[in-house]
């Protein structure tokens, strides 16, 4: 796992992770990012079709707690419609459909909207699927860290 101290040069950035329901992928990404970037980067998550105030999926909570030592159990889902999108430096869609929804609903995002991470929704799947999803998110997070360091130079 990459250590927080490796990311001081990206301090002050604000990143929003977006999936559809904001109960699996994006809260998992938010938890992994909090572990990876610590207080250097402000991270949040939302969903394009979220039911407001739903808790995260239990397998998402267990996976992020067991694999990354981060507790996301207090997370509650929220809609992108309740987020000030302009406040974020980067918005990361977890899947292609989410990217399309964001591009259509928020055409002014421009370069803030990064390409889709193409991560399948693990909703209602077994624990192993959530663990694979977390690994996929972690791989993308490492690539994001490289991107952010290059952009901040």
Positions annotated as catalytic residues are 19, 25, 121
If you search the block for the tokens 């889902």, which residue do you land on?
Answer: 77
Give the containing element (helix H, strand E) for 16: strand 13-19
The values of phi and psi at residue 8, to 5°, are: -60, -25
3-class SS at 116?
coil
CA neighbours within 13 Å on the CB side: how many for 83? 26
């Amino acid at each position: 796992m990459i250590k927080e101290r490796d990311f001081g040069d990206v301090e002050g950035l604000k990143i929003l992770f977006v999936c559809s329901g904001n109960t699996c992928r994006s809260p998992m990404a938010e938890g992994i990012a909090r572990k990876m970037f610590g207080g250097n980067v402000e991270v949040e998550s939302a969903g394009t079709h979220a039911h407001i105030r739903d808790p995260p999926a239990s397998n998402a909570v267990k996976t992020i707690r067991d694999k990354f030592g981060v507790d996301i159990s207090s997370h509650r889902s929220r809609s992108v419609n309740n987020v000030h999108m302009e406040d974020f430096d980067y918005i990361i869609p977890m899947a292609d459909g989410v990217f399309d929804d964001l591009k259509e609903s928020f055409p002014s995002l421009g370069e803030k909207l990064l390409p889709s991470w193409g991560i399948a929704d693990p909703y209602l799947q077994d624990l192993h699927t959530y663990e694979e999803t977390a690994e996929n998110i972690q791989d993308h997070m490492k690539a994001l860290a490289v991107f952010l360091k290059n952009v901040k130079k």
